[in-house]
Amino acid sequence: MAVLRLCVVAGAGLLVLAGCYTYEPARTTPQPGRELAFDINDTGRVALRGAMGPEVSQIEGRLIQKTDTAYLMSVSVVHLLRGGEQTWSGEEVRLPQAFVSAMYEKKFSKSRTLIAGATTAAVVVLVATKSSLLGLGGLDPAKTPPDTFLSVRRPR
């Protein structure tokens, strides 16, 4: 039982520590190293067809460099028009600004993190309460069933 509780609490702690992020419209000029997402316009879709496929709707990744006319991105995800997505592993793509219809910046979301933390805490309490009420604690040697032909307990 103690191991189960420890695992649940550790998992809950990791979830809360990870936090929740959202993409919000960028209000300032993005700096290199920031996580960004770009909505791609029709001109960009046609031009990027050979490199990224014909149905690119949004590109996510880390900004490496920004010039007056283009963004150099380390791409992590390409979202497609009809709902699919492709995971990339940091390939660099030069994205002209003329291909971008909107830009979003990855931001920490306090509200989503609080909701995730509260939900996780509720699950931890529920698991801890239910397991103790149902007697799912450790094995009691007096209540351990005898060996059967299908299983043989090995002493530790």
58 within some domain: yes
Mean pLDDT in residue range 37-42: 96
50 within some domain: yes
> Which pLDDT score is estimated for 24?
87
Give which of 86, 100, 85 is closest to 40, Cα–Cα.
100
154 within some domain: no
123 within some domain: no
117 within some domain: no
Q: How confident is the model over 128-156, as pLDDT tens digits? A: 676 555 555 555 556 666 666 666 666 77
Q: How confident is the model over 44-103, as pLDDT tens digits? A: 999 999 888 889 999 999 999 999 999 999 999 999 999 999 999 999 999 999 999 999
Sheet holding 85-96, edge to edge: 21-25, 100-108, 35-40, 56-66, 70-80, 85-96
Angle between helices 2-18 and 110-133 (to 10 degrees): 170
* Tokens standing for residue 96: 């002209």
Give the integer Cα–Cα distance in Å for 52 and 76. 12
55 within some domain: yes
Give the integer Cα–Cα distance in Å for 85 and 79. 4
Domain count, the chain: 1
* Tokens standing for residue 140: 């009691």
Burial of 52 per CB tally in 10 Å (0-12, 13-18, 19+): buried
**What is the extent of the structural domain holding 73?**
22-107
140 within some domain: no
> Which CATH number covers residue 59?
2.30.30
pTM, two decimals, is 0.61
